[in-house]
Amino acid sequence: MDKDHLARTAKALVAEGRGIFAADESGGTIAKRFAAIGVGSTEETRRDYRELLFRSKDALRQYISGVILFDETIRQSASDGAPLVKLIEAAGAIPGIKVDLGARPLPNFPGETITEGLDGLHDRLMNYYGLGARFAKWRAVIDINQDTGVPTEYAVEANARALARYAAHCQDANLAPIVEPEVLMDGDHDIERCAEVTEFVLNRVFAALYEARVFLEGMALKPNMVVAGKKCARRAPPEQVAEATLRVLRRTVPIAVPGVAFLSGGQSDVEATANLDAINRIRGPWALTFSYGRALQTSALKCWAGKPENVKAAQAAFTHRARMNALASQGRWTEKQEEAA
């Protein structure tokens, strides 16, 4: 483990005014998104779409610190033969890789899942490092269902320990781990219940990381914001989201962790930006930035619609969204900036 290298990578990923682009959709997920715009999902169309995003040089040079890739993408080359990883590096961003194999049902615990992918992980990490990755990501999924008592302590503990083992493997391979315990915003729970569950989850995750001897200065946390469920009638304004989120983080996240890069978790583009901005107007002892997928590229995907003549417009839409979130990561975003676009 090269601690200096890991610490430099982690700090670079959460550098001021920049955030992480999660371009790691699975084949099934990107097929659904392509179907919504009438585009077939083939290796070529997936390559073309991601190439246009990675060639958005203003976005990557100015606002994006790192790009999380899927296994297929890290091995692909652009239309001119240049590896996609090299496009990312040339724009000044750090290539990363999603290494978990997805969430599967947890036996004997209906409605709960465990993320798989630990078997053979060391060898895969070494291979990804050789392909150019310098950080990795693993997502654990925690649902809230007040009627069934989900989440259970067992499910949270199982996922926390898997995250810790993954993080330790990453650092052994000199890849900075992004630790992603996501409390889903599906359901009808209010913001108070989300705060309660998120605090419980993060406490268990950091206890497991400590026990696994993970080097905290060489990792980043990718949590959910504390928000009400989508079906909750009482929506929380950005100021309340910010206060609740930072209260939970202060109770759970060691200051040794260099930064927190929030996932968007199903929020709309502008909602995710507004909440990030409110969080950074209060601030905390860590860098507080974004690691968005859908909330960064939805508008670009719609602009592109699979047509070569729309590439420049799609790149402009992606760059605008990246800029808005970069401003929000500094507490400098306003609604007027959205209207001026």
Active-site amino acid positions:
180, 222
State the Cα–Cα distance between residues 274 and 154, nearest whole angstrom: 34
Q: Strand pairing partners for 221? A: 179, 260
Tokens coding 303: 């602009």
Tell me the DSSP string of 228-279: --TT-SSPPPHHHHHHHHHHHHHHH--TTS-EEEE--TT--HHHHHHHHHHH
CB atoms within 10 A of CB 254: 13
Closest among 48, 39, 55, 38 to 73, alpha carbons compared: 48
- The identity of residue 137, as a single letter, is K
The CA angle 28-31-32, to the nearest 5 degrees, is 90
**For residues 204 and 147, what is the distance between their CA atoms, to the nearest angstrom?**
23
- What is the rounded distance in angstroms from the CA atom of residue 300 to the CA atom of residue 321? 9
> How far is Cα 227 from Cα 239, in angstroms, rounded to an integer?
11
Sign of the dihedral through C-alpha 274, 275, 277, 278: positive
Q: Fill in the amino acid letter for 116.
A: E
Q: 104 - beta bridge partners?
A: 114
Alpha-helix residue ranges (DSSP H) falling in 118-237: 121-130, 153-172, 191-211
CA distance 31 to 25: 9
What are 317's two structure tokens?
């839409």
